[in-house]
Amino acid sequence: MVPYIHVPDLHIGPLPLHPFGILVATGVLVGTSITARRARKLGYDVLQLNSFVTWMLVSAFVCSHILDSIFYHWDEVVRRPWSVIMLWEGLSSFGGFVGGLIGILLWKYFVVEDTWPHRRLRPAPILPFADLVLSVFPIGWMFGRAGCSTVHDHPGARTTADTFLAVAYPRHPGDGVVTKFGFIEFIHGHDPRFDLGFLELIFTIILAASFALAWRRRLPIGTYVIASGLAYAPVRFAMDFLRIPANDGGDTRYGDLTPAQWSCIVLFLYAVAMIFYVRRLHARGVDLSQSLREPLVDAPTGAKAPA
């Protein structure tokens, strides 16, 4: 079995540093840095990209918690309605995806000027930046799922010890054989389970490597949007059948499917529809990226749009 990895909190004086938070922050920094470097090579305006990413990340972070609360912890919302705004209490990956989409749609129509959003004179195209971000996104996502693998916040259903990629969860504190490498503990417990964060980490590494190998090729804008949906949706759909059953205290199901599985269906259909949309753009010779290669002049004052 795969050992259960435990990474204790680090401390700087009285300040605790949680491994999950460190890995997620690292993923954001690495992902945005690589995206900006790729944007320069493609000739995109980096200030516009920074604005796009800011709208996307803020909205994704907020919605990831709100949607997680509503669809996975409704009983808690009824008991403590204020938990919806307690953003540190739980996150949902698909909630973040929906939030990111909301954020970039807002960026399409609004620009921030003097710390306040104003409607753009002309909507900005979002597909080129979305495609650029998704070409790098699996690299940042690897760090996030590595964080999930160290805190084990997505334990799956029980299985047998001889199951491929089963994780040796401890039945209780102190259970199992512990091997230490520095401050990291590898525990061989006696409760074999699937670890969905670990399984998705493996998939994400493969996806990130595949995308990185394609960076040197000139692909039609929208290719990474399509590839991300077609690759991630079926894999995540299948993985969610390995979640803890609802009757064993697992996530709420809707029609025997998790909220993420319903989202996977929508994502897959969207990716299929995007195939036809991108083909039409390519056949017509439309270059949506042209307006993103220089600062937009669309603020109400006529000034260049700030980041």
Q: What is the pTM of this model?
A: 0.86
Reading the block at residue 79, the tokens are: 């008991």
Q: Is residue 305 part of a domain?
A: no
Reading the block at residue 62, the tokens are: 């907020």
Is-contact 230 275, C-beta < 8 A?
no
Give the pLDDT score at 289: 76
User: Can you tell me whether residue 125 is helix, strand or coil?
Assistant: coil
Q: Give me the residue label for tokens 């306040």.
A: 116
Q: Is residue 34 part of a domain?
A: yes
Q: Is residue 298 part of a domain?
A: no
**What one-character-per-residue DSSP string does 234-270 give?**
HHHHHHGGGBPPGGGT----BTTB-HHHHHHHHHHHH
Q: Pick from 128, 138, 136: which is nearest to 42 by CA?
A: 128
Q: Is residue 304 part of a domain?
A: no
Give the pLDDT score at 208: 97
Q: Is residue 118 part of a domain?
A: yes
Domain count, the chain: 1
Q: Is residue 87 part of a domain?
A: yes
Q: Is residue 297 part of a domain?
A: no
Give the pLDDT score at 305: 46
Q: Is residue 275 part of a domain?
A: yes
Give the pLDDT score at 301: 46
pLDDT along the chain (307 residues), means of 10: 90 80 92 95 91 93 85 80 75 85 94 83 91 96 93 91 94 92 92 95 97 93 96 96 84 88 96 95 81 59 45
- Write the pLDDT tens digit of every residue in 170-182: 999 889 999 998 8
Print the domain residue range for 103.
2-9+16-284
